[in-house]
Amino acid sequence: MEKKRVLFVNQEITPYLPESPMSKIGRYLPQKIQESSKEIRTFMPRYGLINERRNQLHEVIRLSGMNLIIDDIDHPLIIKVASIQQARMQVYFIDNEDYFHRKSIFANGSGKFHKDNDERAIFFAKGVLETVKKLGWAPDVIHCNGWFSSLLPLFVKTAYKDSPIFADAKVILSLYNDDFKEKLRNGYEKKMLMTGLENDDFGHYSEGTFVSLMKGAIDRSDALIAGSPEINPEIMEYAKASGKPMLDYQGDEDYYGAYNEFYDTIIGED
């Protein structure tokens, strides 16, 4: 029987970023799911904080080289990869000189939110999907972790829905306490427009706040997971009201089995 495939789209993974509840999930969940006889692919942004030499990142020439258009400007997509040897797991990194070479994640040293975080999130989402297409690897589940992956559900269900790679994929969104107070730039959604995506498709995404991004992602996902013990109450209420299958918070230890069973349930649903 063919192995089921899970695509992990992560905002954080340790050891590439400091250890946090989300980065630990990004590190250990894919390993455990792979050990449970599923195929995996794992992606994260190549933030400038990541030490390429220490972590042995190298460019994947056959996957790099395409340009992604954002706001009518071509941005080169660079794909890098590193291996976590003890897990027998590879991590793919989405890279671009303009978006990911600064020595910070979402805010500068003074705590100021990067004004181009809208374009960075768009580039990351498109970069993951275009790379998976190039790999020719059709996932059964796309598991999005962190607000920075919140545009994936929209793209998968609109612009990429007719692609044979993503046509049958179920999108699972994990909800975390990774709120930000700022707002993405006005009109950012116009930068996302592409074939198969119309103005009417944006819904909650148009507002550009953390809450609206997560509401939009909930609308476009097939199932939800509570990834943190405490989640913004407005988002939690909206998630429960959606009526979509939802896995409650499982704690820090031994959550892998519950996640794996949840994947199987969602994959098996029509």
What lies within 8 Å, CB to CB, of 201 at 6+ separation is 154, 158
Q: What is the pLDDT of residue 182?
A: 97
Residue with tokens 């989405």: 94
Q: What is the pLDDT of residue 247?
A: 98
Rounded (5°) CA angle 209-172-23: 75
What's the order of all strands across the beta sheet hosting 141-145?
58-59, 78-84, 89-95, 39-45, 5-10, 141-145, 170-175, 223-226, 246-247
User: Would you state the structure tokens that stand for residue 121, as one six-digit string?
Assistant: 């999130």
5-268: in CATH 3.90.226.10:
no
pLDDT, averaged across the chain: 96
Q: What is the pLDDT of residue 193?
A: 84
Are the CB atoms for 151 and 202 separated by under 8 Å? no
Residue with tokens 């190549």: 46
| Secondary structure of residue 63 in the 3-state scheme | coil
Determine if the pTM surpasses 0.95.
Answer: yes
Residue-wise pLDDT for 83-113, tens only, equals 999 999 999 999 999 999 999 999 998 999 9
- The domain limits of the chain are 5-268
What lies within 8 Å, CB to CB, of 80 at 6+ separation is 46, 52, 57, 58, 59, 60, 92, 93, 95
Which ranges of the chain have pLDDT less than 50? Answer: none
